[in-house]
Amino acid sequence: MSEVLVLVEHVEGQIKKVTLELLTLARKLGTPSAVWAGPGYSAEAKARLAEYGAEKIYVADSADIADYVVAPKAELLAQLVSSASPAAVLVAATAEAKEIAGRLAIKIDSGVLTDAVGIGEGLVADQSIFGGGVNVQSRVTKGTPIFAVRPNATPVEAAAGAGAEEQVTVAVSDAAKTAKVVDRVKEEKGARPELTEAAIVVSGGRGVGSAENFSIIEKLADSLGAAVGASRAATDAGWYPHQFQVGQTGKTVSPQLYIAAGISGAIQHRAGMQTAKTIVAINKDPEAPIFELADYGVVGDLNQVVPQLTDEVVKRK
Amino acid sequence: MNIVVCVKQVPDTATERKLRSDDKTLDRDAADGVVNELDEYAVEEALRLKEAHGGEVTVLTMGPDKASDTIRKALAMGADKAVHLVDDALHGSDALGTSYALAQTLRKIGFDLVVLGSESTDARTGVLAAMLAERLNVPQLTFANKVEVNGSAIAIQRVTDYGYDKVEASLPAVVSVVEKINEPRYPSFKGIMAAKKKPVEKLGVADAEIDTSQVGLASSWSEVADFSAAPPRAAGTIVKDEGDGGVKAADFLASKKFV
């Protein structure tokens, strides 16, 4: 079977869950080959990639791959597509990896499909568009298909692969070195999981009422090991940082469980969360459109309901 | 500084968005067309850069005749002139075809800086700015929440999952902006009146030296094989809080094995 290249997502050497999802998916499509780009590769990383089915691991861990925006990683993948002739290339549908996929598509003259939620027979990708309103099946018609797959779309299954390492030397071209990363600024985000990767997301909206009151959302999130999200009303009001905004102009999440507290469920917001598997809504307005999506809804004051729910969750652990 | 800001007309999210049953492309007649929201931030950023550094702001739109509404809005905000790339041959172009057509047009009209919104609210691929940088062989400065120009040097803050990266480059360059980089201005009455007199140049594929084998639905690198309306979610259980709403919600979570 042909190789399927999987670009590994990692932060400071830690492999993100979406990579394990992509490896699981790649096993259905061919022989998974993980591609490690940038510093941070370790024996531990190798073991993890092999555990989830990587037969081969291409390692390009020189610093200059990560020191410039996007372009070097696209060059690396283009080089590997040329040498390995894979059946497909999979990346995570994160902002940066989609850009890598886009530049790669031009380099290798191939089609790219973004935000796939599944890839089936004949490399047909499932996509959920227009805020989850329409399901689309698409395929690439030219070149080596490139897919950017949404986090949380594939249940992870371990299945050991050989994990044979192959060092790759990439001479990053001058053309790919024009946008230099001179500093990486880390903002405090605590121990919570990342929004798009989290299995559970608890979001607060206008009904939360203030920045201080977001602590009740955070407490519920922490009791469930969840990420915290916010509606646009809440981020516009400055109650919660913009990078946590869920919705059409923010992040798209598809967790196992999404809890919306004090969020009316405007289309803007629904576009970012309605592919969640289970949705729970807490809102004092019984007419709020969020209840149309909810598997379970509580009509009531979130200031009463949310802390009570948090206490119950803690009690039942 | 010669700034070109790319704007896209998209179907209003508040109306029902559909694909056409015949060629499976966006049904532009079914929904009201509006300026892609993130592009308004791009226009605002372009105007601010012009106000700080001088120069000119040109609006570039690719789209059908109807997209001229979008151009007028950007001109009313204060852009100086516009180029409307409009040709039936462009219908159905995917991101690769669109980036090619825009890159050809940008080469034709010239630029020091191209500014875009980081994604559109309809296709949401988020790849176009990166593709333009690739095609034009200029620095990619995308997902910016801050842009600073100093002579020919340009620096941005690129939003990341952990915070932001500081990125430096030289002009010419492609920048994409995220929401919250600024507060887009509303067109004033004076601006709306002035926009009616501002020049809008219409270009077809031949004018922009676009090879038609690289654009349009038939030349697309990908295709929609099939589509269907997502099935509605099954109706859930809605309860009224009578002092035990949190307990009941916890019961539900327990029944689904979340706790």
* 8 A C-beta contact, residue A15 and residue A47: no
Give the per-residue pLDDT at B76: 98
Residue with tokens 């002092």: B243
Give the per-residue pLDDT at A78: 98
Give the per-residue pLDDT at B155: 98
Q: Is A245 annotated as a binding residue?
A: yes
Dist. CA B157–CA B142, nearest whole Å: 9
In this predicted structure, the answer to whether residue A299 has a pLDDT above a threshold of 90 is yes
β-strand pairing of A88-92 with B113-117: unpaired
Give the per-residue pLDDT at A190: 73
In this predicted structure, the answer to whether residue B17 has a pLDDT above a threshold of 90 is no
Q: pLDDT confidence of A109, banded at 50, 70, 90? A: very high
More confident residue, A27 or A128: A27
In this predicted structure, the answer to whether residue A141 has a pLDDT above a threshold of 90 is yes
CATH node for A3-177: 3.40.50.620
Token pair listed for B191: 């601006």
Interchain CB distance below 8 Å, A298 and B248? yes
Q: Where are the domains of chain A?
A: 3-177, 200-316
Q: Measured on CA atoms in the order A259, A263, A269, A275, is the torsion positive or negative?
A: positive
* 8 A C-beta contact, residue A208 and residue A239: yes
Q: Measured on CA atoms in the order A75, A76, A77, A80, is the torsion positive or negative?
A: positive
Task: Enumerate the residues of chain B whose CB falls inside 8 A of the CB of residue A304.
Answer: 241, 243, 245-246
Protein fold of B2-230: Rossmann fold (3.40.50)
> Residue A55: CB partners within 8 Å, gap ≥ 6?
A3, A31, A32, A33, A161, A162, A163, A164
In this predicted structure, the answer to whether residue A306 has a pLDDT above a threshold of 90 is yes
Q: What is the pLDDT of residues A9-44, one digit of tens each?
A: 999 889 999 999 999 999 999 999 999 999 999 999
CA distance B198 to chain A (A): 30
Helix pair angle (B245-255, A302-316), 10° resolution: 40
What's B157's DSSP letter?
A: E
Token pair listed for A272: 């970012």
Residue from A111, A196, A148 nearest A22 by CA = A148
DSSP helix/strand/coil, A111: coil
The DSSP code sequence of B163-221 is EEEEEEEESSEEEEE-TTSS-PPPPPHHHHHHHTTS-EEEE-TTTTT--GGGSSSTT-S
Q: Measured on CA atoms in the order B96, B92, B223, A25, is the torsion positive or negative?
A: positive
Residue from A88, A66, A49, A25 nearest A76 by CA = A66
Q: Which residues of A160-195 are buried (b: 16+ CB within 10 A; e: fewer)?
A: ebebebeebebebeeebbbbbeeeeeeeebeebbbb
Percentage of chain A modeled with pLDDT above 70: 99
Quick check: B218 contacting A, CB < 8 Å?
Answer: no
CB-closest option in A242, A292, A296 to B249:
A296
CA distance A57 to chain B (A): 25
Q: Do domains A3-177 and A200-316 have the same CATH topology?
A: yes
Give the per-residue pLDDT at A12: 85
The DSSP code sequence of A136-185 is EEEEE-SSS-EEEE-TTSS---------EEEE------GGGGSSEEEEEE
Interchain CB distance below 8 Å, B130 and A184? no
Interchain CB distance below 8 Å, B135 and A179? no
> Residue B20: CB partners within 8 Å, gap ≥ 6?
B26, B27
Q: pLDDT confidence of B192, banded at 50, 70, 90? A: very high
Give the per-residue pLDDT at B235: 86
Q: Is A248 annotated as a binding residue?
A: yes
CB-closest option in A106, A249, A311 to B135:
A106
Token pair listed for B175: 């920048």
In this predicted structure, the answer to whether residue A262 has a pLDDT above a threshold of 90 is yes
Q: How many CB pairs under 8 A join A and B?
A: 282
DSSP helix/strand/coil, A78: helix
Q: How large is the average pLDDT for residues A92-103?
A: 97
Q: Where are the domains of chain B?
A: 2-230
Token pair listed for A64: 């200059």
* 8 A C-beta contact, residue A151 and residue A17: yes
User: What ipTM was assigned to the predicted interfaces of this complex?
Assistant: 0.95
Give the per-residue pLDDT at A189: 66
Interchain CB distance below 8 Å, B163 and A134? no
Exposed, middle or buried, A209 (CB in 10 Å: 0-12/13-18/19+)? middle
Q: What is the pLDDT of residues B213-245, one digit of tens each?
A: 999 999 999 999 999 998 888 889 999 999 999
CB-closest option in B16, B159, B227 to A243:
B159
List B residues 130-149 in contact with A (Cβ-Cβ < 8 A). 130-131, 133-135, 137-143
Quick check: B189 contacting A, CB < 8 Å?
Answer: no
In this predicted structure, the answer to whether residue B100 has a pLDDT above a threshold of 90 is yes
DSSP E strands: which ranges in chain B?
2-6, 9-11, 33-35, 56-62, 81-85, 113-117, 140-150, 153-159, 163-170, 173-177, 200-203, 222-229, 237-240
* 8 A C-beta contact, residue A95 and residue B143: yes
Quick check: B99 contacting A, CB < 8 Å?
Answer: yes
Q: Is A247 annotated as a binding residue?
A: yes
Q: Using alpha carbons only, what angle is made at residue A30 by residues A29 and A34, rounded to the nearest 5 degrees? A: 105
Task: Enumerate the residues of chain B whose CB falls inside 8 A of the CB of residue A268.
Answer: 13
DSSP helix/strand/coil, B105: helix
Q: What is the pLDDT of residues A55-85, one digit of tens each?
A: 999 999 998 999 999 999 999 999 999 999 9
What's A230's DSSP letter?
A: E
List B residues 13-52 in contact with A (Cβ-Cβ < 8 A). 13-14, 16-19, 37-38
Q: Using alpha carbons only, what angle is made at residue B215 by residues A87 and A249, rounded to the nearest 5 degrees? A: 80
Q: How large is the average pLDDT for residues B78-97?
A: 97
Protein fold of A200-316: Rossmann fold (3.40.50)
Token pair listed for A189: 């985000």
Q: How large is the average pLDDT for residues B103-130?
A: 95
Task: Enumerate the residues of chain B whose CB falls inside 8 A of the CB of residue A185.
Answer: 157, 163-166
Asked whether the whole model's pTM tops 0.90, one would answer yes
CB-closest option in A98, A137, A309 to B127:
A98
Q: How large is the average pLDDT for residues A256-261?
A: 98
Q: pLDDT confidence of A222, banded at 50, 70, 90? A: very high
Interchain CB distance below 8 Å, B140 and A70? yes
